[in-house]
Amino acid sequence: MNWDQMKGQWTQAKGHAKQKWGELTDDDLDQVDGEKDVLVGKIQERYGITKEEAERQVNDWN
Q: How does pLDDT run across 5-49, given as a tens digit for each residue?
A: 888 899 889 999 999 999 999 999 999 999 999 999 999 999 999
**Which CATH architecture is the domain 3-61 placed in?**
Orthogonal Bundle (1.10)
| DSSP for residue 49 | -
* pLDDT score at 49: 98
Q: How does pLDDT run across 42-52, given as a tens digit for each residue?
A: 999 999 999 99
Quick check: 37 and 59 in contact, CB under 8 A?
no
> What are the sequence ranges of the domains in the chain?
3-61
The backbone torsions φ and ψ at residue 56, rounded to the nearest 5 degrees and listed phi first, read -60, -45
Taking CA 36 as the corner, what is the angle to CA 40 and CA 28, rounded to the nearest 5 degrees?
A: 60
How many residues would you count in the chain?
62
* pLDDT score at 1: 60
